[in-house]
Structure 1
Amino acid sequence: MCTHSRSIRSVRPKTLGCEECLAEGMTWFHLRVCRECGHVGCCDQSQGRHATAHFHHTGHAVIEGYDPPEGWGWCYIDEEFVELPDQSPRLGPIPRYY
């Protein structure tokens, strides 16, 4: 059982797409939001793999499947799905790049 779920917070996503991809002019496949700080990064099927890079940089273990709105949580450390207490809000239409 994942012990990192206690770090889950209700967050406001910081960007309307992968923060790093938007800054670098890259594209993404799906988005993940960090449930500790609200960072939005791209999934591991995307070229940048920025959500995983954010985990390695910060140690923030739990992400939410953000786009399309999936509502599931994943712990990078325990490599398992986790229950989320809520779903992160959508701040507006998210640009699609796949």
Structure 2
Amino acid sequence: MADLQAVTDDTFEAEVLKSDKPVLVDFWAEWCGPCRQVSPILDELNASHGDKVTFVKMNVDENPVTPSSYRVTGIPNLIVFQGGEQVRQIVGARPKSAILKELEEFIG
């Protein structure tokens, strides 16, 4: 997981909940195979749509508080936040086309 900015339990509120544009948070872990499949897709989406949606990642092993408060029990788990609220959740590895479809309303 190379390019996406990492957020932590400490920075989550400032970076995600107080953002003025939608934020997709990729909840992941180092040991998670499907997370590694989704990572390059999110890097591509960040490159092509990062002006409309902020893409960040959160390691669930290093940051247990935030995932638990949003009931993240399986990973990869992509949650879109807008205006401080959770507005979309995508659980499990999906192909790029499926993720794009879920994000249509945010990226236009």
- TM-score normalised over the length of structure 1: 0.34
Larger strand percent: 2
Where relative contact order (Cα < 8 A, 6+ residues apart) is larger, the structure is 2
